[in-house]
A and B are shown apart, each in its own frame.
Chain A
Amino acid sequence: MTEECEATNSLLIHSCSRASLKMRLVSLRSAQGNFNDDGLVLFSPKGEEDASAVYVWWEIFMFILIAILGGLVGSAYVWVNEHITMWRKKVWKGKHPMWRVFEACGVVSLIMTALYFLPVAFDCVEEPHFDDASHHTGFHGLNTVRYTCAEGFYNQMATLSLTPQETTILQLYSRETAGFFSIR
């Protein structure tokens, strides 16, 4: 029991430190060009020419918070995967391999059905119309999905769950689109 606890603590510390380091590297990389004369990263109020690469001082604490949360979520993800895989091995041991195919078909159908009908629980939101066509990285970069909504409206959940994974990640990363996948 003690050994298990020690191993878990070690894993958590390891995960958090790695996550913090990665987060810090990303921040530094994003902040390129914002170094002051002393070679330190400059954290200054936004509103300058390239506001996306400038941070305020307290944001670093939020980044650390996300790094800790993300590290724990990542560890939990691996831990759950490991246990499910071991359970699967026990269940399918000695059975015909065809059962694995049936399992794959069943689980994939279930997941696809759930993800397809999940957006039903969410309301339609009016699509914004911006006159400033110069902002290519803003909402213009998003690939909205109407789902069952009328013309000029879109479903936020469908926009996330019914688009290819890479597109969804890009949409989550998109700048200047605060509020579009928000509290509803």
Chain B
Amino acid sequence: MSATRREYTNKLILKHKLNYIYSVLITFTAAYFVCAVTAYGLAVPAGLFIPSMMIGASMGRLVGELLYLWQPDVVDPGLYALVGASAVLGGE
């Protein structure tokens, strides 16, 4: 990660660190889960594969972002998103 990008990221996290009330990823994961479950089974062509990947990726990214607060030099949340997506697909 370049110094410029890391500086920006740290600034962004510090700015919002005290505002732990809600998170974009938690809301998105929950909302998408409910929407995907509701939409599947309607009389329209739809699948489970991409929604599962979305749910898993956002869940994994959330874990990655939380770990990033702890170990910013090691953790890359993008990788955790990939692992999360494969995990949810594996669970089906």
Residues in B with CB closer than 8 Å to A27 are: 83
* Residue interface bits B41-80, CB-to-A below 8 A is 1, else 0: 1111000101111111111110111111100111111111
Residues in A with CB closer than 8 Å to B88 are: 19, 70-71, 73-74, 77
Query: Which size bracket describes the interface of B in this complex?
Result: 35 or more
Main secondary structure of the interface of A (DSSP, over half): helix
Q: A26-B82, A84-B41, A181-B25 are in contact. Are A169 and B92 (CB under 8 A)?
A: no
- CB–CB B52/A181 < 8 A: no
CB-nearest residue of chain A to B20: A183
- How many contacting A-B pairs (Cβ < 8 A)? 247
Distance in Å from the Cβ of B54 to the closest Cβ of chain A? 6
Residues in A with CB closer than 8 Å to B10 are: 179
- CB–CB B78/A70 < 8 A: no
Number of chain A residues whose Cβ lies closer than 8 Å to a Cβ of chain B: 80
- CB–CB B57/A183 < 8 A: no
Q: Chain B interface (Cβ within 8 Å of chain A)?
A: 1-2, 4-5, 8-10, 12-13, 16-17, 19-20, 22-25, 27-28, 31-33, 35-44, 48, 50-61, 63-69, 72-92
